[in-house]
Amino acid sequence: MASSSSDQTFDVASLVEDYSLYRISQYVLVILFIGFFLAPLETGIMTAFKTNRAVAETIPLVPPLGEGFTLDNMTFALNALSGAFFNSLFMAIPATIGSVLFGSMAAYGLTMVDWRGQLGVLVLFLIGIFLPYQAVLVPLARFWNNIFPLASMVEPLFVLAPFLQDYHANLVPLIITHIAYGIPICTILFRSYYQGLPTSYVEAAKIDGASITKIYRRIILPISKPMFGVVFIYQFTQIYNEFLFAFTLISGSDTPEAVVTLILPAVGASTSGVDFGIRMSAAFLAALPTLIIYVAFAEQFAEGLKTGG
Amino acid sequence: MATTDKTETAKPQAEEVGWETKVRYFLNSDLVRSSPYWGIPFFLMGIAVYGGIGFNTAISLTDARGLTPPNYSPGNLDFEMYTQALGSSAFLSAAQNNLVLLIVFTTVCLLLGLFLAILLDQGIRYNNTVQTIYLLPMALSFVITAQVWLWIYNYDFGLMNIITRAVGIGSVDWIGNPSIALGSVIFALIWQFSGYTMVVYLAGLRSLPDDQFEAAHVDGASTLKTYIRIIIPQMKEASVSAAVVLMVFALKAFTFLYALTGRYRPPNGTDILATLMVRQAFKLGKWAYSAAIATYLLILALGVIAPYLYYQYRQGSL
């Protein structure tokens, strides 16, 4: 490679045509790492479709064959998780919409308009991203349970709504908590996007006498559509996958309002040990919503991670 | 709106400004007029984050435990819980584990991520698909990946032990053996997070101008030398921001450890401050004591964040 490329320019096209040993070793590495990242998930999915005998007798990476194949684990896991699925979506969707909207508004107020002291407010938002949630868990538990028992206040309203049971009211404090703690990261994601926008639109609109509200509704919202996609996907994955707040605010994994992440650690476990067929089925089903979103919108997901972490 | 007219009529009186005009100026300023946008989110976030921290500190200064409400009378406020934590061997070993986790996890993730990013930046075919595969673990909850890794580390049938038996090492108790459990946990976390550092480094690599390679090649430098001398030094900013995210995560990692056993106590020898704190609070009801541990955790996190924010400020990127 070194001798052939020293007189060539370093562009992609010349590299792809180059089938040297160096090139082949690069592809071998790429494929080895594909194995490294996929093997755990592959063994999980294979095990999900195996009978208990096949789990004990076959190598985990090998697909279930013949008598070793079963759908029983899947149906069992689906039954165990179906209620929790609804709870997770009922919790994650409004929490995502709320935090994304607030984040966009805050970022607009902090970038498109200039005022003194902005930096100080921004730093307070930034610290909010990195804060260890452990530092607010005790207050959070005390607040929603003893000081402001919102769940029991809104509970009667849930009887009026079809599809909702009164126990869903216990998810309302969790939704509000997720919105509040999601605001900082959403704000910073939108801010980095708004900073990259050309200011000429906004300046022109200001000269024309457009109000701050008008600029937001007519200019900023329409051009930030792609960023709404990015932040929505990022934030939905975060909230759907979140465990600690659910663990703190929902009374237990055996209660009807428990979300998916809360139930999962216990599925498949019994006094005689762990049934890994059932457990892997449940893990796969629980991962499905985020997996579908991830495969469909991988680029937006990566974009969110790049700026947000 | 009419507000713009008001400012114009108010301006000519600038020589002698009365307080009414000052108030009107203030009310028409961008600070106030944009406040509905940033103010409401700021208020909500402020109560949750800073109100929460304040409340936590207040509880940590009391003796609150069990179901009895904390006693906030000034005579009862003391730092007893903080000294009690520092004197406890459980706290110190958790802090030590936390430090090991933080250093090993962050270092390996950064190095592996940089390596993967450089690998994918070589004009690999389907590099977008490969990137998607490498990043896949980041889309999954720790609760889910912990279940999968429990299966991989299973003593009798797990993939890891099938490999070690085939190689001739024999079965290893990856999770149950206190001296290697922390290593097993770190390995799984690296699997989950190295895709993230790769994405950050890839973004950094792709923002560099292409002609640096050409220039280096004209000067006769090899590809390896070009990376070490020219490219990697320019990844400083990407490294710093990724390192901060990883270090803060390492401090507060709880979910993965909890989900590994499904109980309050993580696998032997892997207790970190976050798991210790949650166990003290929600299993034993020692609210004040766990609030004090949480404060220590917060101070450690601020020790990582504050220099980072200062660095960002100096760079002008805030």
Residues A80 and A267 sit within 8 Å (Cβ to Cβ): yes
pLDDT for B43 beyond 90:
yes
Q: Do A106 and B38 touch (CB under 8 A)?
A: yes
CA distance B237 to B245: 13
CA distance B166 to A59: 12
CA distance B259 to B190: 17
How is residue A257 annotated by DSSP? T
Contacts of A37 in chain B (CB under 8 A): 133-134, 136-137, 191, 195
Return the residue of A nearest to B226 by Cα: A10
**What H or E segment, with its residue span, contains residue A269?**
strand A269-270
Return the residue of A nearest to B144 by Cα: A283
Indicate the pTM of the whole model.
Answer: 0.90
Q: Do A135 and B53 touch (CB under 8 A)?
A: yes
Helices (H), B157-222: 159-167, 178-206, 211-218
Of residues B139 and A163, more confidently modeled: B139
The minimal CB distance from A134 to the residues B128, B149, B294 is found for B294
pLDDT of res. A13: 54
Q: Mean pLDDT across the stretch B62-69?
A: 80
User: Which among A130, A174, A215 is the top mutation candidate for probing chain B, defined by the most B β-carbons within 10 Å of its own β-carbon?
Assistant: A130
Q: Do A131 and B241 touch (CB under 8 A)?
A: no
The minimal CB distance from A244 to the residues B30, B254, B291 is found for B254
**Model confidence band, residue A4 (pLDDT cutoffs 50, 70, 90):** very low
Contacts of B146 in chain A (CB under 8 A): 265
Q: Mean pLDDT across the stretch B75-99?
A: 92
User: Which among A134, A181, A231, A254 is the top mutation candidate for probing chain B, defined by the most B β-carbons within 10 Å of its own β-carbon?
Assistant: A134
CA distance B160 to B169: 11
Contacts of A264 in chain B (CB under 8 A): 141, 143-144, 147, 259
Quote the tokens at residue B282: 């929600």
Residues A99-123 pLDDT 10s: 999 999 999 999 877 788 888 999 9
Return the residue of A nearest to B253 by Cα: A132
CA distance A186 to A31: 35
The minimal CB distance from B119 to the residues A26, A115, A141 is found for A26
**Model confidence band, residue A6 (pLDDT cutoffs 50, 70, 90):** very low
Mean pLDDT of chain A: 88
Residues A184-217 pLDDT 10s: 999 999 999 998 888 888 888 888 888 888 989 9
Exposure of A200 in the CB half-sphere (CA atoms within 13 A): 1
Q: Mean pLDDT across the stretch B257-279?
A: 88
Beta strands, E only, B22-165: none
**What H or E segment, with its residue span, contains residue A296?**
helix A276-296
pLDDT for A32 beyond 80:
yes
Put simply, the chain B residues between 85 and 144 with a CB less than 8 A from any chain A CB are 116, 119-120, 122-125, 128, 130-144
Return the residue of B nearest to A241 by Cα: B141
Return the residue of A nearest to B316 by Cα: A119
pLDDT of res. B22: 86
Handedness of CA A244, A246, A250, A252 (dihedral sign): negative
Q: Do B217 and A38 touch (CB under 8 A)?
A: no
A125 CA to chain B: closest CA distance, Å?
8
Q: Which residues contact A161 (CB under 8 A, 6 or more apart)?
A: none
Tokens 């730092």, located at residue:
B79
Q: Do B31 and A115 touch (CB under 8 A)?
A: yes
Return the residue of B nearest to A114 by Cα: B30
pLDDT of res. B3: 46
